[in-house]
Homo-oligomer: A and B are copies of this chain.
Amino acid sequence: MTDQHDPDSNPSDDLQIEDTTRSVREQLKDAVDQRDVEKIEALLEPLPLSGKMRQLLNLSQDDRDLLLEVVNAELAADLVEEAPFEAATEMVERMEASRAAEIFEELDSDLQADLIGDLDDDEAEAILSRLDPEDAADVRRLVTYDDDTAGGLMVAESFSFPDTATVGAVLRSMVSDDDDFERYRGQHPYVVDADRHPVGVVSLRGLLTAKRSDKLTTIMTPPITVDADLSLDDLQDLFDGNNFLGLPVVDSTGRLAGVVSRSAVDGAALERSESESLKRQGVVGDEVRAMPLWIRSRRRLAWLSANIVLNIIAASVISAYEETLAAVIAIAVFLPMVSDMSGCSGNQAVGVTMRELSLGIVQPKDAFRVWLKEVSVGMINGLALGVLIGFVAFIWKGNPFLGLVIGLALAINTVIAVSIGGVVPLLLKRLKQDPAAASGPLLTTITDMAGFFLVLSLATLMMPLLLS
């Protein structure tokens, strides 16, 4: 057993392997340099999927390409499947089309279509032309659907039978050695008419109690189908409310187009949640550190540059009050504090609204109700924080009016911040903008400006008292 001593506190085999990772890493590098395919496979096979991925991503770009070129197609497909989508696209892009086609044969039609959709047209065509024509046709069809819709999440392969088929035909297909059956996992046998309109679904119970010569039409029940353009949110709702493992998807003409599985929906929801969380931190796309430096740098910089402009706008408020600042220099100490604390309060409100949006329990038109609820929290917390920081300012400089200026500014700005933080994601959603990416920068700019303005204008008003 390769994996005896496990530092990472995990009981499973999976992590026991990690203890020897350093040497696995080195051994893998050597094996790749020597193009020792057997050694590479022997090193990777015992690792859990994430461990395989970790080893792959730790290799240099060239070694990574080489590894994916030489290992068996099944292992390469596992790696492409497990990789963050963008990294997976890059892996495929860098392969020969013939190799990519080999690997494609091991992938779900769903992932095939996602990858093809992201490649250059020439590369996509080169791969498609090497696939089984029927599979290629499926992919060409799937690629037309938007991501995060039933059409974008479904697989083209359906466990379907003509309405003339018998129970025996289904049972024979289930026990056949045909590998395809694995692809239908979670699917019920669907019955389609001559035009491929779904007309029924057959339960396992029905199959087992019927005679083999019975027509499927005698035991089927009407199918629940979903339209190809049904959104991820609605799909989540549908699967949450039912026990289905998969649902047949129909195109705009009502024909069976594929099957969307519960786990495809769950997976897409997880990906969306993670990508939104990243966007809120200013990471766009699914960056992993194995990507080329200049891509990572450029993407982060794009977001930072937009942000620095907003920062300059906010700071211009301070520059309008240089006289006040010069007179009471202590205020400069509190400016970043007031703006930062308000930003934090506002971000909490953004977080709760984003969550309620994703749970479907709040909608853009609920903005007013959300605002009312946030204002109450804002007043309590603003008061508490204002008193705290006001007291600190008073103690520090011995001037109660300085405390009053700072405390009052923070209290008011907290109410402003939670109001904006709670409502902005809803407004962005209504304007069909992406609330995950834009709420944060919008919020901080406004709360910075308001915070600077409140502190400095209150100080200007009370200047004689501050100087006494």
Chain A interface (Cβ within 8 Å of chain B)?
A: 1-3, 6-12, 14-15, 18, 21, 48-51, 53-54, 57-58, 78, 82, 84, 171, 174-175, 181-182, 185-186, 199, 204-205, 208-209, 222-227, 229-231, 233-234, 236-238, 240-241, 243, 245, 262-263, 266-267, 269-270, 273-274, 276-278, 280-283, 286-290, 293-294, 296-297, 300-301, 303-305, 307-308, 311-312, 314-316, 318-319, 322, 325-326, 329-330, 332-337, 339-341, 344-345, 347-348, 350-352, 355-356, 358-363, 365, 369-370, 373-374, 376-377, 380-381, 384-385, 388-389, 392, 396, 444, 448, 452
A271 to chain B: closest CB distance in Å?
A: 9
Complex: A350 Cα to B282 Cα, angstroms: 10
- Residue on B with the closest CB to A361? B54
Complex: A345 Cα to B296 Cα, angstroms: 12
- Residue on B with the closest CB to A50? B360
A213 to chain B: closest CB distance in Å?
A: 16
Which residues of chain B are near A290, meaning CB under 8 Å? 361
- Known contacts A18-B363, A341-B307, A341-B311; is A241 also within 8 Å of B281 by CB? no
CB<8 Å pairs between A and B, sample of 27: A1-B222, A2-B222, A57-B361, A175-B205, A175-B208, A175-B209, A204-B204, A263-B263, A266-B267, A278-B352, A278-B355, A282-B347, A287-B355, A288-B355, A289-B362, A290-B361, A293-B373, A293-B377, A301-B385, A303-B348, A308-B385, A315-B336, A315-B337, A319-B396, A325-B329, A336-B339, A340-B448
Are the C-beta atoms of B322 and A330 separated by less than 8 Å? yes
A304 to chain B: closest CB distance in Å?
A: 6
Which residues of chain B are near A243, meaning CB under 8 Å? 182, 185
Complex: A241 Cα to B52 Cα, angstroms: 11
Are the C-beta atoms of B348 and A332 separated by less than 8 Å? no
Complex: A283 Cα to B336 Cα, angstroms: 22
Are the C-beta atoms of A48 and B336 separated by less than 8 Å? no
Complex: A269 Cα to B241 Cα, angstroms: 19
Are the C-beta atoms of B50 and A224 separated by less than 8 Å? no
Are the C-beta atoms of B11 and A234 separated by less than 8 Å? yes
A87 to chain B: closest CB distance in Å?
A: 9
Are the C-beta atoms of A355 and B185 separated by less than 8 Å? no
Q: What is the predominant secondary structure among interface residues of chain A facing chain B?
A: helix
Are the C-beta atoms of B9 and A388 separated by less than 8 Å? no
Are the C-beta atoms of B305 and A186 separated by less than 8 Å? no
Are the C-beta atoms of A287 and B352 separated by less than 8 Å? yes
Which residues of chain B are near A370, meaning CB under 8 Å? 289
Complex partner residue of A289 from B332, B341, B373, CB under 8 angstroms: B373
Q: Which 9 A-B pairs have the closest CB atoms?
A: A50-B360, A277-B277, A266-B266, A281-B351, A332-B332, A48-B237, A283-B351, A2-B222, A336-B336
Which residues of chain B are near A396, meaning CB under 8 Å? 319
Which residues of chain B are near A385, meaning CB under 8 Å? 301, 304-305, 308
Complex partner residue of A9 from B226, B356, B365, B376, CB under 8 angstroms: B226
Which residues of chain B are near A305, meaning CB under 8 Å? 384-385, 388
- Known contacts A1-B222, A208-B171, A266-B263; is A53 also within 8 Å of B361 by CB? yes
Which residues of chain B are near A339, meaning CB under 8 Å? 336, 340
Question: A9-B238, A278-B351, A300-B345 are known contacts; what are 17 more A-B pairs with Cβ within 8 Å?
Answer: A1-B222, A6-B224, A9-B224, A9-B225, A54-B361, A58-B369, A84-B359, A185-B245, A262-B263, A274-B358, A277-B280, A281-B351, A283-B351, A289-B373, A305-B388, A318-B333, A322-B330
Complex: A293 Cα to B379 Cα, angstroms: 11
- Residue on B with the closest CB to A56? B361
Complex: A3 Cα to B336 Cα, angstroms: 50
Which residues of chain B are near A263, meaning CB under 8 Å? 262-263, 266
Which residues of chain B are near A283, meaning CB under 8 Å? 348, 351-352, 355
Which residues of chain B are near A334, meaning CB under 8 Å? 315
Which residues of chain B are near A293, meaning CB under 8 Å? 373, 376-377, 380
- Known contacts A48-B241, A240-B82, A273-B270; is A336 also within 8 Å of B335 by CB? yes
Are the C-beta atoms of A348 and B282 separated by less than 8 Å? yes
- Known contacts A231-B11, A289-B373, A333-B319; is A300 also within 8 Å of B348 by CB? yes
Complex: A330 Cα to B339 Cα, angstroms: 18
